[in-house]
Chains A and B, each alone.
Chain A
Amino acid sequence: MNANAVHTLWTSAAADPISKIPSPTIEYAQLAPVMIVIGAAVIGIVVEAFAPRRARYHIQLWLTVVALGAAFASVVALAVGGYATTKQTSVAMGALAVDGPALFLQGVILLSGVLAAFTFAERRLDRAHGKRVDSFVAQAGAVPGSEAEQAAVKAGFATTEVFPLMLFAVGGMIVFPAANDLLTLFIALEVFSLPLYLMCALARRRRLMSQESAVKYFLLGAFSSAFLLFGIALLYGYSGSVSYAVIADVVDGTLISNDPVLAQTMGNDALLLIGMALVLMGLLFKVGAVPFHMWTPDVYQGAPTPVTGFMAAATKVAAFGALLRLLYVVLPGMRWDWRPVMWGVAIATMVVGAIVAVTQTDVKRLLAYSSVAHAGFILAGVIAATPAGVSSVLFYLAAYSFVTIGAFAVVTLVRDAGGEATHLSKWAGLGRRSPLVAAVFAVFLLAFAGIPLTSGFSGKFAVFSAAAEGGAGALVIIGVLSSAVAAFFYVRVIVLMFFSEPRADGPTVTVPSPLTMSVIGVGVVVTVVLGVAPQYFLDLAGQASVFVR
C-alpha cells in the first residue's frame, strides 16, 4: 500500500464520518447472558473495594452463583425461544452469533462455572492457624515464605477476588464460541485468558510452583496471542474485513473487492493460507493440541486444583467452540486445505497425549496429558466437517467438562500434611481406606477411558462415528488405538487404588462441605446418565448443530 493510498483512506474516512460509522444497535435480550456475567464481575470488583472483609466471601459466592445461574437461565430462555434453531441470528452489529452451537456451549460453560465456583468456595479441606481456608493464597502480593505472608495468613485474609476473576473469565469464554468476527474473537480470548493467568498464580500451597506455572502460561499465552493477532491481520488483508460472513464470502468467491484501497492484497491466497494457519494455531494452543500443548502439564499441575478443573473444562469448551465456528463458518470453502493439516495435528495430539501419559506419576499431570489426548479425540470430530461432526463435538464437550470438574474435585480431597497428595504412589490402596471416593474417581477414570455406560463412551462413539462418516476412517483407527493406550493408564490408577496395599504414611481423604460433594455428585450423575441414556442429549446437540452465517 503506498502513501498515496493511505492518504486516500484517511481522507475518504474523514469526508463523511457519519455514514462510515453507523450507530450500533444492541440487542439487549440476546446479549443478556454476556451482560449478566460481565456486569456481575464488575459488581464483584466493587464488592472487593467496599464490602467489609468478613462479608466478602459470602457476598461473592452468592453473587457469582446467582449471576451464572441467571445467565444460564437466559441462555435456556433464548434456546427455548427458538434462537438455537429457527430464529438464529447475529447481534451487536454482527459481532456475536446467537445460534445453536453458541447457546449450547454457553450453557455448558455456565454450568461448569457454577460447579467451579463451588469448588473455589470449598473451605473445609485445609486449615491454617486453626482456621478453615480455601485453596487460594491469603494475600497474592506477599512473597512466598515471607513474614508478610505469615501475617496475612494469621490475619485470616482471603483472596476473594478469584470470584470476580472467574466471572470475567466466564464472560470471555461465553463470548469466545459466539464471536462472529475476528476482533471479537481476539478480545474474548484476552478477556478470559488474563484472569486465568492470574488465578493460576494463587495457590495457597506450593506457591512457587503455582507462580511459575502462571508465568509460563502467561508467556506462552502472549506468544500464541501474537500469532493469532498476526493471523487476523493477514486475513483482514486477504478479505478486507474481520467479519466471518464477509471472509467466508470472499473465500467462496461470491464477494469481490469492495474497497479499492485493498484491491492489491484482496484475494491473495498466500495471505489466506498463512493467516488461516496462524489463527488456527492460536486456537489449537488454547485447546492444548500437539505441538502447542506443552504448557498444559506444567500449568495444570501448578495451578490451584479448583482452577485447574475450571480451566480444563471451560477453556476447552470455549476454544473448541471458536475453532468449530472458524472452520465451519469462515473456512468451509477451504476444507481441502485445512483438513489434511488438522489430520496431522489430531493424530499427533491423540498419540502424544496417550503415550506420554503412560509414564506420568502425578495425578494432575496425568489428567493434563489425558486432556491433551481428549483434545485429539475431539479434533477427530471437528475434522468430520459434517453436521454430525458438530453435534458430536458439542456432546463430547458437555460430557467431558462434567467428568473433568468432578475428577479434579476428587483430587482436592486426597490430602496429607503437605496439602493435596497428588503423587500417584500415595494413592495406592485408597480404595481400601475410602472405597466411596475411590469408586467415584474410578467412575471418572472409566469415563475418561471411554468405557460403555459412561458419558465418555457415548461421546467417543459419537465423535468417532461422525469422523468415520466424514471420511476419516484412518483417523478413527488411530483414535481407537490411542484410546486403548489411554485406557492403560486410567485403569492402572484404578488397579493402584483397589488392588495395592495402602501405604502406612498414605494420605487421608478429607470430608468436604456440601459444596464439593454436590460438584462430585453432579459429575457422577451426569457421567452415568449421559452414558446410560445419551439419546436425549445427543438429539439436543443434534438440534443445536447449525451455525448462523
Chain B
Amino acid sequence: MENLIALLVAAPLLGAAVLLLGGRRLDRAGHLLGTVMAAASFGLAVVLFTDMLGRAGDDRSLHQHLFSWIPVGGFQADVAFQLDQLSMTFVLLITGVGTLIHVYSIGYMEHDERRRRFFAYLNLFLAAMLLLVLADNYLLLYVGWEGVGVASYLLIGFWQHKPSAATAAKKAFLVNRVGDVGLSIAIMLMFTTFGTFAFGPVLTSTGETSEGKLTAIALMLLLAACGKSAQVPLQSWLGDAMEGPTPVSALIHAATMVTAGVYLITRSGAIFNAAPDAQTVVVVVGAVTLLFGAIVGCAKDDIKKALAGSTMSQIGYMVLAAGLGPIGYVFAIMHLVTHGFFKAGLFLGAGSVMHGMNDEVDMRKYGGLRKYMPVTFVTFGLGYLAIIGFPGLSGFWSKDKIIEAAFAKGGAEGWILGAVTLLGAALTAYYMTRVMLMTFFGEKRWQPDAEGNEPHPHESPKSMTIPMIVLAFGSVFAGGLFSLGDSFIKWLEPVTAFEHGHSPLSAAVVTSATVVVLLIGVGLAWLQYGRKPVPVVAPRGSLLTRAARRDLGQDDFNHVVLVRGGEHLTRSLVYVDHTLVDGVVNGTAASVGGLSGRLRKLQTGYARTYAVSMFGGTAVLIAATLLMRAV
C-alpha cells in the first residue's frame, strides 16, 4: 500500500508536465487530461483512506522511502513520504476539492485561450501541495512549500495582460518570500540543533533541547505560516490575490494553500508545545488576524475581497486554535476542513455570479439575483449558513469547538480569547449576511459594463453548478459527521494528541452565546442592508469603514515603513558604494595601473639590462640565503 503514496503526487505532476510540454496540440483536450489526473489522485486517496480505516489507530501511519536525495556526510536528505491521519485529511481535502474545482474550471475557463496552461498550473499546484503535506521531513516540505508558492504566483498572475494581476502576483510572491525565509531559517536551526530535519527524530527529541532554541525555531515556523496563510503581519497579499481567476481563489486562496500554515503549526506541534512563549505569539497572531480579516470583510464592496477578508479571519480562528496546543489542534484541523468546503463553495458561487454578471465584482451593482440564479442562490446560501455557524451546519460544529477551547485556555487569557472569538463570530455573521443581502436580495442595481452591455444574469452550466452542489453538501453535513461520536477527535488524536479543555463556562452557555451573537450580527446587517435599499454608490462611511476599505492601512504601513525605508537604505548604500567602495576600487586600480606603467619601464629591451637584473637577483638570492642562516 505504501508504494502508492508517491503516485498521489506523481499523477498531477505528470499532468502538469504533459500539459506544459505538450504545447498547442493538447489545447483541445488539455482540460480533460488535467481533470482526469486530479480525479486519479483523488481516487487513489480514497483507496488509501479505506485501507487506512482498516487498521488500528496507532498503526495507520504509512511510510515510503523513494530515494536518498542529498547524501553528504552528516547531511542526509531523503525524498520520503509519510501518510498518517493528518496527511490523509489534507490529501482528501486537496484532491477532493481540487477535483471539483477542476471540473468547475472546465466551464468557467471555457472561453479562455490559455485554458490548457491554466489546467497545467492547477495540476502543478496539486502536486506541490500534496508534496507539502506528504513529505516526511522539513526539507522536502520546503520544496512543496515553494512549489505552491510558484503555482500561486503563476495563477494569481494568470491574466498577466492586466497590470493589476501582474502586480498582485508579484506582491504575493514577495510577501511570501518573507515567510519562506522564516521556514528556511527554521530548517537550518533544526539541522544545527537536531542534526536532521526528518519529522520523526525532530519531533520526538524536543525534550532534550533548550527552550530558547525551540522558541526560535517555533517563531521562524510561525513567520513562515504567517506568509503562506496571510496572517498579520504578512496578510497584505491575500486581498490582491483575488485578481486571479475565481477557481484559483477558491482552491488556493481559500480551501488549501492558505491553510498550509495551519498544517505546519499542527505538524510541528511538539515544538510549539515545548515553547509556550511561541504559542502565546501564535495565539495573538491568530486573534489579531481573526478580527482584522473580519473588519476588512465588513467594508469591502468587491464580493471576492469580502470573501478574502473572511478567509483571513477564518484562518485566524484556525491559527488561534493551533496556538492553544493539544486542546486546539484537532479543532483547528476540523475547522480547516469544514472551511475548505464552505469557503470553496462560496467562492465558486461568487464565480458563478460573476459569470452571469459580465465579470462584475461590485456587490452594489448586484441585487435580486436569487430569482435568476436559483442553484447558485441555494448553494451559496447553504455555504453562508455554514460559515456564520448556523446551528447544525458544518461551521457551527467546528467554530463552536474553537470558541470553547479559547475559553478553556484559562485565566484572563481565556476570557480575552473567548471574547475575541465571540466578537469574530458576530462580525462573521454581519459581513456574510451583508454579502448575501447585497447579492441575492433587494432591488436590481445592475449597471451596463464599460462596453455598454447590459448584464443578463443566468444560471451557470452544469459543469459549474455540480461542484457547487457537492460542496454545499459538504458545508451542510461535514461538521455534524465529524462531531458524531467525536469521530474526528478519535481520528486525529494519534497524530496531534488531544486534551479536553476545561472551560469555565459550560458548553451549553458557550453555544447559546454563539447563537446570540450570531443573531445580533445577522440582525445588524439586516437593519443596514435588508430593510432599506442599498445605494449604488458607496456612502462615505465612518472613519472605521473608510479605514477598513483601505484594508486598515496595511498597504500604507508597508509603503511607509518597508518601501520608503528600503529606498532610504538602498540610497544610502548606493551612496556608500559610489563614494567609499568605488573610491577604494578605483584608487586601487589607478595605483596598480601606475605601478604597472613604472615597472614596465624596467623592461628596456636591452639584453644587458636583463643580465644585470639576473645578476642582481642572484646576488640577492645568495645574500638572502646566507642571511637566513645567519639569523
Task: Show the binding face of A for B, using Cβ within 8 Å.
Answer: 215-216, 219-220, 223-224, 227, 269-270, 273-274, 276-278, 280-281, 285, 290-292, 294-295, 297-298, 336-338, 340-341, 344-345, 352, 355-359, 485, 488
Contact = CB atoms under 8 A, between A and B. Distances in A.
A211 to B, nearest CB: 13
Contacts of B68: none
Interface in B216-246: none
Contacts of B626: 270, 273-274
Interface string B610-631: 1101101110111011101100
26 contacts: A216-B607, A220-B610, A220-B614, A223-B611, A270-B626, A273-B625, A273-B626, A274-B622, A274-B625, A274-B626, A277-B622, A277-B624, A281-B614, A281-B618, A281-B621, A291-B614, A291-B617, A294-B602, A294-B603, A340-B624, A341-B624, A341-B625, A355-B595, A357-B596, A359-B593, A488-B592
A340 B618 contact: no
A227 B605 CA distance: 22
Contact of B603 (A273, A356, A488): A356
A277 B620 CA distance: 10
Nearest to A290: B617
B618 A356 contact: no
Nearest to A217: B607
B221 to A, nearest CB: 35
Closest 10 CB pairs of A and B: A291-B617, A294-B610, A358-B596, A359-B596, A277-B622, A277-B625, A277-B621, A216-B607, A281-B618, A355-B596
Given A352-B599, A358-B593, A292 B614 contact: yes
Contacts of B616: 291
A164 B486 CA distance: 97
B610 A295 contact: yes
Contacts of B597: 359
Contact of B596 (A227, A285, A356): A356
A280 B596 contact: no
Given A291-B616, A358-B592, A297 B622 contact: no
B600 A338 contact: no
B618 A337 contact: no
A344 B624 contact: yes
Given A355-B592, A355-B599, A359-B596, A292 B625 contact: no
A277 B618 contact: yes
B616 to A, nearest CB: 7
Contacts of A285: 614
Contacts of B611: 219-220, 223
A344 B629 CA distance: 16
Main SS at interface, chain B? helix
Contact of A292 (B596, B599, B617): B617
A278 B618 contact: yes
A456 B600 CA distance: 26
A85 B478 CA distance: 76
How extensive is the interface on chain B, given as a class?
20 to 34
B599 A356 contact: yes
A144 to B, nearest CB: 18
B528 interface: no
A313 to B, nearest CB: 23
B609 interface: yes
Contacts of A298: 603, 605
B604 to A, nearest CB: 9
Given A294-B602, A356-B599, 13 more contacts: A219-B611, A223-B611, A274-B626, A277-B618, A277-B622, A278-B618, A291-B620, A294-B614, A295-B610, A355-B592, A356-B600, A358-B596, A488-B592
Interface in B12-36: none
Interface string B523-566: 00000000000000000000000000000000000000000000
Nearest to A489: B596
B628 A340 contact: yes
B278 to A, nearest CB: 41
A193 B59 CA distance: 82
Nearest to A485: B592
A224 B613 CA distance: 12
A273 B628 CA distance: 10
B630 to A, nearest CB: 10
Given A359-B597, A359-B600, A281 B624 contact: no
A488 B596 CA distance: 13
B596 A276 contact: no
Contacts of A337: 625, 628-629
Contacts of A215: 607
Contacts of B589: 488
A298 B606 CA distance: 10
Given A216-B610, A356-B599, A358-B596, A341 B618 contact: no
B526 to A, nearest CB: 70
Contacts of B593: 358-359
Contacts of A344: 624
B629 A273 contact: yes
A225 to B, nearest CB: 12
Contacts of B618: 227, 277-278, 281
A481 to B, nearest CB: 10
Specify which of B602, B609, B625 lies most central, judged by the most chain A CB atoms within 10 Å of its CB.
B625
A270 B630 CA distance: 11
A466 to B, nearest CB: 23
Contacts of A219: 607, 611
Nearest to A339: B628
Contact of B625 (A276, A291, A359): A276
A219 B610 CA distance: 10
A274 to B, nearest CB: 5
B93 to A, nearest CB: 46
A341 B610 contact: no
A288 to B, nearest CB: 12
A298 B610 CA distance: 11
A532 to B, nearest CB: 19
Nearest to B616: A291
A32 to B, nearest CB: 37
Specify which of A269, A291, A336, A344 lies most central, judged by the most chain B CB atoms within 10 Å of its CB.
A291
Specify which of B599, B609, B624 lies most central, judged by the most chain A CB atoms within 10 Å of its CB.
B624
Contacts of B622: 273-274, 277-278
Contacts of A281: 614, 617-618, 621
A285 B615 CA distance: 11
Contact of B629 (A227, A269, A358): A269
B621 A341 contact: yes
Interface in B575-601: 589, 592-593, 595-597, 599-600
A280 B624 contact: no
A440 B313 CA distance: 61
A278 B620 CA distance: 11
A219 B608 CA distance: 9
Contacts of A276: 625
B533 to A, nearest CB: 69
B607 to A, nearest CB: 5
Given A297-B603, A355-B592, A359-B593, A341 B614 contact: no
B599 to A, nearest CB: 5
A294 B617 CA distance: 11
Given A220-B607, A355-B596, A280 B621 contact: yes
A276 B628 CA distance: 13
Contacts of B605: 298
Contacts of B625: 273-274, 276-277, 337-338, 341
A355 B592 CA distance: 6
Specify which of A215, A269, A278, A358 lies most central, judged by the most chain B CB atoms within 10 Å of its CB.
A358
Nearest to A224: B614
Nearest to A358: B596
A179 B624 CA distance: 27
Nearest to A356: B599
A270 B626 CA distance: 8
B591 to A, nearest CB: 10
A273 B597 CA distance: 36
A357 B605 CA distance: 16
